[in-house]
A and B are shown apart, each in its own frame.
Chain A
Amino acid sequence: METLALLLADARLPAAGHTQSAGLEPGLAHGLDPAELPAYCRTRLATVVRTEAASAVVARHHWLAGAPLEPVEIAWAARTPSDAMRDTSRLLGRGLLRLARRAWPSAVAGWAPGAQPPRPLVLGAIAAHQGLPSAELARVVGYDDVQAVLSAALKLLPLDPAETTVWCLELLPDIDRLSEAVAGLTETDQIPATGSPQIEGWAQAHARTTRRLFSA
């Protein structure tokens, strides 16, 4: 494990992670069974997170090759049909970009002021600039999503934090499998369109509710 991956996956990174439930809040509001939390995480890893992780890896490759990132952004957007989820990813990307302009300014110099790139692209640029291997980058995306679900679950459900930690531990092999599946991708047309209509529908509904603990 590269230490930079630890930094990027740390919930204490000031990039608005605490505002996110990775779709859990609307999921629970629409009947997701709390006993199925690990399955919910696995579903995300197999679907929407797979698209995000692949986009990050391909963005990293493009950055290293000196190729523009716009085609990666277009490919990511085409595979993220929920505008609510695109907005969330861009909001988080903007937060990470703000941090990156201080921490790794030359990694993100290609984005103009006011740019709103999706989070996986900013992560890909940081990884490329800092020499973080693509497999580690994909793990960061997967791990962050699992922990976003599980830490939000502690706010939303009567759970023992030790139990969610055990669930996370049991999900680590799934994160590794996601990493293996996407780490070698280099081209935009290899980014999987593995959306999840259920998760996307929940995200759309959440964006319109007025009772939200989490932004998404």
Chain B
Amino acid sequence: MLDHTEAPAKRAPATRAPATRALRLGVCGPVGTGKSSLIATICRELARTLRLAVVTNDIYTDEDARFLRSAGVLPAERIVGVETGACPHTAIRDDVTANLIAVEDLEERFAPLDVVLVESGGDNLTATFSPALVDVQVFVLDVAGGGDVARKGGPGIERADLLVVNKTDLAPYVGVDVDQMVHDAEHARGGRPVLALSRTDPGSVAALAAWVTDRLAEFRGGHLVPVDPGPMAAHSHSHAHSHPH
């Protein structure tokens, strides 16, 4: 008979992350919505004032890591790619080991860092980060994916710390009403923030940078409590509906 009775190590309280390390910021969302581009934008805006590093979770190549390196927004060695074995969802949710090791290596190598950005491999609407990996997370949609996506909901859309509706400059070309899409998203999120973003709209870029620096201040002040968007959409609807479950 084996002795399995050793008490496990005390679980770290699931409240505040220690502010002695960098803020870990996750960026997830479906393929092609502009996650890498959003990270490049954050780096471009903040690299002069904050010490940054990036972990990418490319699916089949180091495309995202190369894109970010070639964008020249950070020194190349501060951007590392992690292979997920075609399991991008697993790598940010149920087995975050490889990503945590990459984050810790960057934090050690370039100490002290202010923010480590973790980009998930593009996945479906149910993929969100485990709070064991990131302190705060952004879910990215884009107008080209269709104006109805925000209404479809899901944990990232409904409960990520920030929902970005990206590429608003493309709205006229894809027949999407940005205001309506943002309104749908705000309705789905119960007051959580929604940001309509375009690289070509300086006001929206400034708002994104301000949101990141605000979270960093909150983290350093010990007030940031990681919130798990959860793997599933809450099975309830605030509106009347007739579709079967």
In the complex, what residues of A have CB within 8 A of residue B90's CB? Answer: 18
Say whether A215 faces chain B, with CB atoms less than 8 Å apart: yes
Say whether A30 faces chain B, with CB atoms less than 8 Å apart: no
Residue of B nearest to A212 (CB): B83
Instruction: Kindly provide the distance from the CB of A155 to the nearest chain B CB, expressed in whole angstroms.
Output: 5
Which of A114, A130, A213 has the most chain B CB atoms closer than 10 A to its own CB?
A213
In the complex, what residues of B have CB within 8 A of residue A2's CB? Answer: 2
Q: A14-B97, A16-B97, A130-B2 are in contact. Are A213 and B60 (CB under 8 A)?
A: yes
Number of B residues, CB within 8 Å of A: 28
Of the A-B pairs whose beta carbons lie under 8 Å apart in the complex, a sample of 13, sorted by A's number, is A14-B96, A19-B87, A19-B98, A91-B101, A95-B97, A102-B9, A102-B11, A103-B9, A130-B2, A130-B3, A210-B66, A211-B60, A213-B60
B interface footprint on A129-168 (CB within 8 Å = 1, 0 otherwise): 0111000000000000000000010010000000000000
Say whether A75 faces chain B, with CB atoms less than 8 Å apart: no
Q: Assess the A95–B98 pair: CB atoms within 8 A.
A: yes
Closest 10 A/B residue pairs (Cβ): A95-B97, A16-B97, A14-B95, A215-B83, A18-B87, A16-B98, A18-B85, A155-B86, A214-B85, A105-B9
Say whether A104 faces chain B, with CB atoms less than 8 Å apart: yes
Instruction: Kindly provide the distance from the CB of B122 to the nearest chain A CB, expressed in whole angstroms.
Output: 14
Q: Assess the A211–B61 pair: CB atoms within 8 A.
A: yes
In the complex, what residues of A have CB within 8 A of residue B95's CB? Answer: 12-18
Apart from A13-B95, A20-B85, what 18 extra A-B contacts exist at CB < 8 Å? A4-B4, A12-B94, A12-B95, A14-B95, A15-B97, A16-B95, A18-B95, A19-B87, A95-B98, A105-B8, A114-B108, A132-B2, A155-B85, A155-B86, A210-B61, A212-B61, A213-B86, A214-B86
Name A98's contact: one of B8, B94, B100 (CB within 8 Å): B100
Say whether A94 faces chain B, with CB atoms less than 8 Å apart: yes
The CA-CA distance from A16 to B101 in the complex, in Å, is 10
In the complex, what residues of A have CB within 8 A of residue B82's CB? Answer: 19, 215
Instruction: Kindly provide the distance from the CB of B79 to the nearest chain A CB, expressed in whole angstroms.
Output: 13
Residue of A nearest to B108 (CB): A114
Say whether B91 faces chain A, with CB atoms less than 8 Å apart: yes
Interface residue ranges, A against B (CB under 8 Å): 2-4, 12-21, 91, 94-95, 98-99, 101-106, 114, 130-132, 152, 155, 210-215
Q: A18-B95, A106-B6, A130-B4 are in contact. Are A95 and B84 (CB under 8 A)?
A: no
In the complex, what residues of A have CB within 8 A of residue B94's CB? Answer: 12, 14
Say whether B201 faces chain A, with CB atoms less than 8 Å apart: no
Instruction: Kindly provide the distance from the CB of B131 to the nearest chain A CB, expressed in whole angstroms.
Output: 14
Q: Assess the A152–B85 pair: CB atoms within 8 A.
A: yes
Q: Assess the B6–A95 pair: CB atoms within 8 A.
A: no
Name B9's contact: one of A20, A101, A132 (CB within 8 Å): A101
Which of A18, A91, A114 has the most chain B CB atoms closer than 10 A to its own CB?
A18
A interface footprint on B66-80 (CB within 8 Å = 1, 0 otherwise): 100000000000000
Residues of chain B in range 139-184 having any CB-CB distance to chain A below 8 Å: none
In the complex, what residues of B have CB within 8 A of residue A101's CB? Answer: 9
Q: Assess the B85–A21 pair: CB atoms within 8 A.
A: yes
Q: A18-B90, A211-B60, A215-B98 are in contact. Are A104 and B6 (CB under 8 A)?
A: yes
Residue of A nearest to B60 (CB): A213
Instruction: Kindly provide the distance from the CB of A124 to the nearest chain B CB, expressed in whole angstroms.
Output: 16
Q: Assess the A18–B101 pair: CB atoms within 8 A.
A: no
Instruction: Kindly provide the distance from the CB of B129 to the nearest chain A CB, expressed in whole angstroms.
Output: 14
The CA-CA distance from A114 to B82 in the complex, in Å, is 19
Q: Assess the A102–B97 pair: CB atoms within 8 A.
A: no
Say whether B59 faces chain A, with CB atoms less than 8 Å apart: yes
The CA-CA distance from A99 to B98 in the complex, in Å, is 12
In the complex, what residues of A have CB within 8 A of residue B2's CB? Answer: 2-4, 130-132
Which of A4, A20, A95, A99 has the most chain B CB atoms closer than 10 A to its own CB?
A95
Name A131's contact: one of B3, B9, B61 (CB within 8 Å): B3
